[in-house]
Structure 1
Amino acid sequence: MTSEKRGIDPRNAEPRSVGTWAKRYYYANRAAVDAVLRPHGIGSTQWAVLHELTENGPTTQRDLGRALHVERASLSGTVATLIRKDLVHQAPSVTDQRQKVVDLTAAGRALWDALPDPFAEVRRVALSGLDVEEIAVAIHVLQTATEQVNQHTFD
């Protein structure tokens, strides 16, 4: 559906509205994902840690933080919570005792196997009734804008 059909005049659209709606979607999506995961006793960041460990196996905590784009202090708290829940364990790295390696426990693997894919559930609701071409345009716009901002130097 074109912008004119939606009552939007692209010549007068506020440039910041793309960012505003991207941010609103992010927060709505995150809240919905957390609601899907809540009955399972975990949140979206904990799910992301379990997902990363499921996909890539034991990982140093430093590499886990980089992969998830999570700050060290936040990740430490998340890992500590998952340890208390007996979903992950942590041990010193064999090659570098200063590094901590995080891995799933048997309970963590069992929980992972029982979890729904919260993003698929939320995506199904969020994108219901939208044309595939509209979704592709939205992805293209946000991806391109993100890449351009990341590549630009704002010094």
Structure 2
Amino acid sequence: MQVQDIMTKKVLTVRPETTVREVAEILVNHKISGVPVVEDDGRLVGIVSEGDLMSKEILGAVIYYNGLREYKDAFDRMAANTAAALMTKKVVTVKAYDDISDVARIMRDKHIKRVPVLDDEGHLIGIVSRQDIVKMLL
């Protein structure tokens, strides 16, 4: 079975300039754990998850130092007020024709809850979540 057989095609997305508060409201109101960040043309540029939002709050309370690079990243995340500043930029993605068992393995091994599905030009065309895979088992 391929990703296109189970992916959600109508994906909620945000723009890079969406505020952190708006992102949090979208996650809560739609009961989702993450949302892709896309440009005007639909090209994926990142993803914001509940974990990213929690990191912002946790880092606001506890500053740690583990080298200058890590400190800078932590500070930038703390100061984030838009999706672009908070998002994870290195997103694991899949194609519609990928095998679901491969995607499930990636999600398990990398501890990912959702994987954006891109076309060959990098445009978002869907998303696969853990729940989509569980539904397939039914």
Normalising by the residue count of structure 2, what TM-score does the alignment of the two structures yield?
0.23
Higher alpha-carbon Rg: 1
**Higher helix residue share:** 1
Normalising by the residue count of structure 1, what TM-score does the alignment of the two structures yield?
0.22
